[in-house]
Structure 1
Amino acid sequence: MLSRVANSVYWLGRYLERSENYARFIDVNYSLTLDLPPDSKEQWKPLITATGDIAPYTEKYDDFDRDNAIYFLAFDENNSNSLFSAISKARENARTVREKMTKESWEKLNETYLFVKEGARKEVWKREDPRDFFSDVKYQIQLLYGIEDNSVARTEEWYFRQLGQFLERADKTSRILDVKYHILLPSPEEVGSTLDILQWMALLKSVSAFNTYRRIHGNITPGGVVEFLVLNKFFPRSIFFCLSEAEKCLYKISDSSGTGFNNSAEKKIGSLRSQLEYHDVNDVITYGLHEYLDELQLKINEISNAIYENFFEIGNNIINQQMDQR
């Protein structure tokens, strides 16, 4: 498989997942602001922090006004991680490998891109309640996932897209959990308060985990949420589950048995997955949740770099050499 194609399909998976996550985060965060006590500040700064784009935001704006925050997160073309930027990059990567996609997948992706573009034209961030728009974006991308699940052959292209999707999902789950604990950490007297529980509920909803969590754990507790989103072996958005699925994709791509490792990407992801497999929530809390998640994010970045070096870099170097010779 050409590394150029693999690279495009991998980033198609990452950008689609990023788009869907941003739509969900904005939808849930808006709902949280409606549930907060009247004297509470809207929680847009932590959400922007979760995306890693606090610096470019503060260069443009002096406060965290709702309209500015939603525009920046969803429609700002100068924000390379905005919803519109992500869905545009997903569409562009899909366009370069159009022959590898089914007709239905391409049409749904193109339809979603045009829907987001139209939302920007209509300035939906200024609506009194823009949640319907972001819910529609989320469901359109989930429909695209369903179309692909039922129409795309399980070849290398499929596994590269899944690899990108699950790595992106693991990263975003770690970031949104880190923000709740590190930035929204309540004062001692607020622990267990209505506000504290509302924020933990919003966190679970932001990763579509609320109902499943309640069925398994019942009461909402910080330890229970951490265990569920970091270490749970069965929930599709837990960090452990995402890394396990990404590891399986790498083995499929390498056509290996899954015992040992064939390259540095397999080694790094296997090491991290094994670490999580044998940790429990007490290990995480004792280490320090923020420190634990920060280390996880660094290791996920290292895995992404190793994937580039093993599967994409050689092909990109060849293309650059050919361009230089022209």
Structure 2
Amino acid sequence: MLSRVADSIYWMTRYIERAENIARFINVNLNLSLDMTSGMAGAWQPLVMTTGDHEVFEKRYGMDYSRENVIQFLALDREYGNSIISCVAAARENARSVREIIPSVMWEQINRSYLLLKDAAQNRLASREPHRFFKDITMLSHMFTGLLHTTMSRGEACHFALLGQLLERADKTSRILDVKYFMLLPKPEDVNSPYDVIQWGAVLKSTSGFETYRKQFHRIVPKQVCNFLIFDSNFPRAIRCCLTSAQCALHKITGTPRGTVSNQAEKSLGRLCADLDYSDIDDVISAGMHEYLDDLQTKINLVGLDIREAFFRIPDNLTEQVSVSVQ
């Protein structure tokens, strides 16, 4: 497979997953504002912190983290590269460049999603009916993922698509958990209060894990929620489950047996999965939850860089040859 094609497929699914995650946790925050009679002041700032782009926001909107500004920035700001509309547009462009590789229904779904999102932005649906708007985006993403799993042959293209989707999902789960643990409870007296329980429930809903968690553990216990979202090997949005599945996709791309490596990407992802296999929530708490998650996000980003170097980047000597031939 051409590196250009692999790169487009990989980023196509990363962008769709990113858009879905943003839509989901905005909608959860909207519902949380209905559940909480107080304590919602400043509750929109953590959503921007989750993306890591708070400096970009403050250059555009100052320190006014109002509901309107945050939704505009995260959902409809075309100048912000990680907004929902920018992500879907980027996914559409990547899909357009590989239309001959992916099933036509996948292209049609992405194109339909972009056109619906563009129309909703023009009609200000996010302001008039925000719950419907963000739920629709989530469902459009679910339809795309369903088409990926049911119509795409399990070859290299599919594995690159899954690799991008799973790395993005692991990163977003870690960020959602980190922001809750590090920012939303600045006052020690709020710990284990009803306010705290509602917020931890919102974290589970942000990862679509509320019902799965309650069926398994019944009571919402912060330590148990963290263990579930980091180390569970069966829940599809738990970090360990995502990275283990990403590792399988990577080995299927290279053809390298599990337990061996052929490039730096396999080595760094394998080391990260091994760390999760041989750690537990007590180790995380001992190290510090924020510090652990911050380090985990850095390692996931490094895996992404290693994947780019292994599969997508044109070597310098080939770049020089192309330049000479063009001249």
Asked whether the two chains share a fold, i.e. TM above 0.5, the reply is yes
Question: Which 4+ residue blocks in structure 1 deviate beyond 3 angstroms?
Answer: 315-321
Distance in 2 (CA, whole Å) between partners of 1:53 and 1:123 is 24
Match of 1:222 in 2: 222
Alpha-carbon separation, structure 2, partners of 1:320 and 1:161? 30
Q: 2:265 touches 2:303 (CA, 8 Å); kept in 1? A: yes
Instruction: Give how far 1:325 is off.
Output: 3.7
Matched, 1:232 2:212: no
Tell me the residue number matched to 1:86. Answer: 87
Indicate the SS of the match to 1:99.
Answer: coil
Hey, what does 1:58 align to over in structure 2? 58
Q: Percent identity?
A: 46
- Name the counterpart of 1:38: 38
Tell me if the contact between 2:126 and 2:133 (Cα under 8 Å) persists in the aligned partners.
no
Alignment-derived partner of residue 29 in structure 2? 29
Aligned partner of 1:108 in structure 2 is: 109
Distance in 1 between residues matched to 2:100 and 2:316, nearest whole Å:
20
2:10–2:164 Cα contact (<8 Å) kept: yes
> Partners in 1 of 2:40 and 2:175 — Cα distance?
23
Aligned match of 2:189: 189
Equivalent positions of 1:128-147 (< 5 A) are 129-147=129-147
Are the structure 2 counterparts of residues 39 and 253 from structure 1 closer, same or farther at C-alpha, using a change threshold of 3 Å?
closer
Greater alpha carbon shift after TM alignment, 314-323 vs 63-72: 314-323
Instruction: Structure 1: state its 5+ residue gaps.
Output: none
The corresponding residue for 2:180 is 180
Conservation of the 8 A alpha-carbon contact between 1:24 and 1:134 = yes
Alpha-carbon offset, residue 216 of structure 1: 1.1
Letter in 1 for 2:201: M
- Checking the alignment, whether the CA contact within 8 Å between 1:50 and 1:179 is kept in structure 2 is yes
SS in 2 for 1:150: helix
SS in 2 for 1:219: coil
**In structure 1, how many angstroms separate the alpha carbons of the residues matched to 2:321 and 2:191?**
59
How far apart in 1 are the matches of 2:316 and 2:207? 35
Aligned-pair RMSD on alpha carbons? 1.5
What amino acid does structure 2 have at the position aligned with 1:107? E
Counterpart amino acid of 2:308?
Answer: Y
5+ unaligned residues in a row in structure 2: which ranges? none
3-state secondary structure, aligned to 2:100: helix
- Contact 2:126 2:134 (C-alpha < 8 Å) held by counterparts: no
- Measure the CA separation in 2 of the matches of 1:323 and 1:95: 26
Q: Which residue of 2 is the match for residue 122 of structure 1?
A: 123
**More divergent stretch after superposition (284-293 vs 181-190):** 181-190
Q: In structure 2, what is the Cα distance between the partners aligned to 1:39 and 1:253?
A: 48
1:79 and 1:85 in contact (8 A); partners too: yes
One-letter amino acid of the counterpart of residue 236, structure 2? P
Matched to 2:107, the amino acid is: W
Paired AA for residue 138 in structure 1 = T
Contact map agreement 2:231 2:239 (CA 8 A) in 1: yes
Name the counterpart of 2:212.
Answer: 212
Change over 3 Å in CA distance of 1:136–1:319 after alignment to 2? farther
Q: Alignment partner of 2:81: what SS?
A: coil
Contact 1:8 1:96 survives alignment (8 Å):
yes
**Separation (CA, whole Å) in 1 of partners of 2:161 and 2:107:** 14
Q: Scaled by the length of structure 2, what TM-score is found? A: 0.96
Q: 1:319 deviation in Å? A: 5.8
1:217-254, Cα deviation, whole Å (9 max, x unpaired): 11111101110000001100011001101100110000
Question: 2:245 and 2:209 mapped to 1: Cα distance?
Answer: 18
AA matched with 1:165: Q
Contact 1:13 1:164 in 2 (8 A): yes
